[in-house]
Chain A
Amino acid sequence: MTKNEFDYKDYIRARFFPHIWCPGCGHGIVLSTLLRAVHELGLDKNEIVMTSGIGCSSRISGYVDFHSLHTIHGRALAFATGVKLSKPKLKAIVPMGDGDALAIGGNHFIHAARRNIDITAIVMNNKIYGMTGGQFSPLSGQGKKATTAPYTTIDNDFDVVELAKAAGATFVARSTVYHANEAKDVLKKGIDHKGFSVVEILTQCPTYYGRKNKEGNAAQMMEVFKTNTVKIGSKKLEKNPGLIQRGIFVQDTEKLEYCEAYDKTIETAMKGKA
């Protein structure tokens, strides 16, 4: 980048605006945070492929001036695996919603982590299915109201961070849209990390989750991110273990990245032939 000043216009496809997100949706903050991260990393737009699945969050790929692949529900990581392995010089960024990442896409999520392929998976966690009208997601948690849980949910939720760690992701982090600057720094590190990175960003859906569960408007929901989360290892945790931790949980640079490992396979195969 020749320009040092961040100008969002350099990164969006103005032709495709206005976006489809509801007023108060947190996804816009994720978009802006992501673009700032890309800008500060000084990445060339031509080296970024953004792949997404289906849902409100997945529309993000169309709005950005990168190579963009808006695919089918839950399979974004599998499409991105094809992109990345076939052209490893590309930066693969995959924004996903709750269902995309961990319901229909759960299998791809754990296997991408297991492979440690160099993809940055951003889980935009708003605990609800927004685009289809407010059904509960695997991240909603128990006792929540949703259009498919009129008597409240009985399903347990996932902890994205724990799941990613267990599956072998070599970079795992969490932040929120309230902590936009922190989220940006985490994203920068995630994108820069060579290997599978998972960045969970808590975001709000005032239209469905907030309204159904009486959590107030967007500002009030963001306020909850402020009060309910703490930095990893914070002393506040001792008093209140129910608080959600933010920060970088895993940053492992030892484990071999998949495309690099594949290059070694090629080397071996070619030697065998020579």
Chain B
Amino acid sequence: MKQQNNIRFVQGNEACVEGAVYAGLDFFAGYPITPSTEIAEHLAQRLPEKGKKFIQMEDEIASMAAIIGASLTGNKVMTATSGPGFSLKQEALGYACMAEIPCVIANVQRGGPSTGNPTHVSQGDVNQARWGTHGDHSIIALTASNHQDVFKITVEAFNLAETYRTPVILLLDEVVGHMREKLVIPEPGELPVVGRLRTSVPKDVDYHPYLPREDGRLPMSDFGEQHRYNVTGLFHDMWGFPSNNPKVVNALLTHLVDKIENNVNDIAMYKEYWMEDAEYILISYGSSARSAIHMARNRRARGFKIGVLELQTIWPFPTEIVREKCADAKAVLVVEMNMGQVVTQVRNAVYNPNKVFLANRIDGQLISPTDIKTVLRMIQGRGV
């Protein structure tokens, strides 16, 4: 069949934009920061064409705040940033967790801490995505290594945000964000798109915005519609009104964690390469997974039984899946561009943490297949 005009040669940031548009993005607020800026630039072009809203706010905090406000009027919302901006967003991000407001935050990672390495690659924000806010809550963070997957997980980010009423973080990285490659935009309907779950409670019946249904989901009512309720970042009761009643506090915090942690296996997305008989398993994500896959392919051609598990859901961490997949491996090598943020999770997951090793690079350069091969040969006792 002749292709429609749906094949593009784009940056990863544009793939993210196209995914967001496909998912029905209505409102974007952002503040320019390298290497995420192209997301804002393309959306400034794309959203008004569809009668939708783009605003460049005065800072990252304001951007996060604005998308929360816009989400409450019934819109699908997003912001995009990189490390320092992500740090600024954390307080409002925690607010979105507490008030259970669907939103998507793309963090195209750069090196850190502080201003760090703006134009170079890093995967250093894995832990910040999980623990950047204060207090306990759970969070969803997704990642991808190629543009087709960036598109797909961006759509999925919106779906998960709506399903679980939570902020979802897209942990992209500079190489994926700025690299150009082919993207085939799926036809409408080809990928599932989850819409906002709205309450069916009629006009004059008492609506409890924070009373979960039996399935744990919380139907929303848009600001401006018939149900008027209070949204707060304080612990709150089923009407959304502040409460410090120990029972209310306990129930709400438990709910915030459980709604995500109890569904890890539904949320978990990953890809497997040559895993059937793999003796050595590479676990990776984002652009470093590309090097891991490349290296495994080369080694396979030489007869080595190497497999790759590419994680696309980083949080909640798919502990059980990793444990099962790695049960029979001689060694597990985690490939990432930080000091070892996912490797800690993998060590927690597997039966024998002593067989988990780290191949990393932290100098702003993409980790190469050779870098990984060097570490693997040392593990295998074959020398460099």
Q: Mark B22-55, 1 if CB is under 8 A from A, else 0.
A: 0000110100000000000000010011010101
Number of interface residues, chain B, beta carbon within 8 A: 45
| A63: nearest chain-B partner, CB-CB | B230
**Are A86 and B239 neighbours in the complex by a CB distance under 8 Å?**
no
Residues of chain A in range 91-135 having any CB-CB distance to chain B below 8 Å: 107-108, 111
**Are B230 and A72 neighbours in the complex by a CB distance under 8 Å?**
no
**Are B239 and A15 neighbours in the complex by a CB distance under 8 Å?**
yes
**Are A86 and B57 neighbours in the complex by a CB distance under 8 Å?**
no
**Which of the candidate stretches B69-77, B115-123, B281-289 sits at the interface with the other chain?**
B69-77
Q: Mark A55-80, 1 if CB is under 8 A from B, else 0.
A: 00000011001111111100100111
Contacts of B241 in A (CB 8 A): 13, 15-16, 62
Q: A265 with B48: in contact, given A72-B91, A90-B223 (CB under 8 Å)?
A: yes
Q: Confirm or deny: A47 has a beta carbon within 8 angstroms of a beta carbon on chain B.
A: yes
**Are B69 and A82 neighbours in the complex by a CB distance under 8 Å?**
yes
**Are A72 and B72 neighbours in the complex by a CB distance under 8 Å?**
no
Q: A78 with B26: in contact, given A85-B55, A86-B70 (CB under 8 Å)?
A: no
Of A46, A61, A85, A107, which is within 8 A of B66 by CB? Answer: A85
**Are A82 and B224 neighbours in the complex by a CB distance under 8 Å?**
no
Q: Confirm or deny: B229 has a beta carbon within 8 angstroms of a beta carbon on chain A.
A: yes
Q: Confirm or deny: B242 has a beta carbon within 8 angstroms of a beta carbon on chain A.
A: yes
A86, B75: Cα distance in complex, Å: 7
**Are B65 and A79 neighbours in the complex by a CB distance under 8 Å?**
yes
Contacts of A72 in B (CB 8 A): 65, 91-92, 95, 233
Contacts of A79 in B (CB 8 A): 65-66, 68-69
Q: Confirm or deny: B136 has a beta carbon within 8 angstroms of a beta carbon on chain A.
A: no
Q: Confirm or deny: B190 has a beta carbon within 8 angstroms of a beta carbon on chain A.
A: no
Interface size, A (range): 35 or more
Q: A81 with B55: in contact, given A75-B65, A87-B73 (CB under 8 Å)?
A: yes
**Which of the candidate stretches A26-34, A147-155, A170-178, A266-274 sits at the interface with the other chain?**
A266-274
Q: Confirm or deny: B226 has a beta carbon within 8 angstroms of a beta carbon on chain A.
A: yes
Contacts of B92 in A (CB 8 A): 71-72, 75
Q: Confirm or deny: B257 has a beta carbon within 8 angstroms of a beta carbon on chain A.
A: no
Rounded to whole Å, the gap between the CB of A35 and the closest CB of chain B is 14
Q: Confirm or deny: B225 has a beta carbon within 8 angstroms of a beta carbon on chain A.
A: yes
Q: Confirm or deny: B15 has a beta carbon within 8 angstroms of a beta carbon on chain A.
A: no
Q: Mark B93-131, 1 if CB is under 8 A from A, else 0.
A: 001000000000000000000000000000000000000
Q: Confirm or deny: A89 has a beta carbon within 8 angstroms of a beta carbon on chain B.
A: yes
Contacts of A268 in B (CB 8 A): 48
**Are B232 and A62 neighbours in the complex by a CB distance under 8 Å?**
yes
Of A46, A69, A75, which is within 8 A of B231 by CB? Answer: A69
**Are A70 and B230 neighbours in the complex by a CB distance under 8 Å?**
yes
Q: Confirm or deny: A201 has a beta carbon within 8 angstroms of a beta carbon on chain B.
A: no
Of B67, B73, B233, which is within 8 A of A90 by CB? Answer: B73
Of A61, A68, A71, which is within 8 A of B233 by CB? Answer: A71
Q: Confirm or deny: B234 has a beta carbon within 8 angstroms of a beta carbon on chain A.
A: yes
A85, B223: Cα distance in complex, Å: 13
Of A15, A70, A87, A262, which is within 8 A of B232 by CB? Answer: A70
Q: Confirm or deny: B61 has a beta carbon within 8 angstroms of a beta carbon on chain A.
A: yes
**Are B58 and A111 neighbours in the complex by a CB distance under 8 Å?**
yes
Of A67, A71, A87, which is within 8 A of B229 by CB? Answer: A67
| A110: nearest chain-B partner, CB-CB | B58
A70, B241: Cα distance in complex, Å: 10
**Are A47 and B224 neighbours in the complex by a CB distance under 8 Å?**
yes
**Are B49 and A67 neighbours in the complex by a CB distance under 8 Å?**
no
A47, B224: Cα distance in complex, Å: 5
**Are B226 and A83 neighbours in the complex by a CB distance under 8 Å?**
no
Q: Mark A27-54, 1 if CB is under 8 A from B, else 0.
A: 0000000000000000001110101000
| B27: nearest chain-A partner, CB-CB | A86
Of B29, B225, B233, which is within 8 A of A82 by CB? Answer: B29
| B226: nearest chain-A partner, CB-CB | A46
Rounded to whole Å, the gap between the CB of A87 and the closest CB of chain B is 4
Of A62, A68, A83, A111, which is within 8 A of B69 by CB? Answer: A83
**Are B49 and A83 neighbours in the complex by a CB distance under 8 Å?**
no
Contacts of B68 in A (CB 8 A): 71, 79, 82
Residues of chain A in range 148-207 having any CB-CB distance to chain B below 8 Å: none
Q: A67 with B26: in contact, given A75-B61, A266-B48 (CB under 8 Å)?
A: no
**Are B62 and A111 neighbours in the complex by a CB distance under 8 Å?**
yes
Which 7 pairs show the lowest CB-CB distances between chains A and B? Answer: A82-B69, A82-B66, A269-B48, A78-B65, A86-B70, A78-B62, A83-B69
Known: A70-B242, A81-B65, A82-B29. 4 other contacts (CB 8 A): A69-B69, A70-B233, A83-B223, A90-B224
On A, residues with C-beta under 8 Å from B are 13, 15-16, 45-47, 49, 51, 61-62, 65-72, 75, 78-87, 89-90, 107-108, 111, 262, 265-266, 268-270, 272-273
